[in-house]
């Protein structure tokens, strides 16, 4: 089951909807990410969708997924590479 924190819901409705980022796209990305990383600092997973410039940070317990936040950036590649380089996001 996939659930969204209040923060993630608000971000989708108020900011990301204008950019075409929806719950459906988020769910699709979680099921089939272009790249899957692990945030070693926050102990969360990161699902990347390169075509839509989004990184979805989520927690997973058993088969339950909780979306914590969604990062949208036209500079996503730079952000991901920077966090990989410092060892924060790992494969």
Task: Count the neighbouring beta carbons within 10 Å of the beta carbon of residue 56.
Answer: 24
45 band by pLDDT with thresholds 50, 70 and 90? very high
CB 33 within 8 A of CB 48: yes
Per-chain mean pLDDT for the chain? 96
For residues 3 and 59, the answer to whether their CB atoms sit within 8 Å is: no
Task: Produce one character per residue of 7-18: b if its CB has 16 or more CB atoms within 10 Å, e if not.
Answer: ebeebbeeebee
What's the mean pLDDT in 15-36? 95
pTM comes to 0.94
């Amino acid at each position: 089951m996939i659930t969204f924190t209040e923060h993630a819901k608000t971000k989708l409705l108020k900011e990301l909807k204008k950019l075409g980022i929806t719950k459906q796209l988020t769910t699709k990305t979680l099921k089939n990410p272009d790249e899957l990383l692990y945030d070693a600092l926050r102990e969360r997973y990161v699902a990347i969708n390169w075509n839509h410039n989004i990184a979805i940070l989520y927690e997973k317990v058993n088969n339950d997924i909780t979306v914590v936040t969604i990062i949208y950036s036209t500079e996503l590649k730079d952000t991901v590479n920077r966090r990989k380089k410092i060892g924060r996001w790992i494969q």
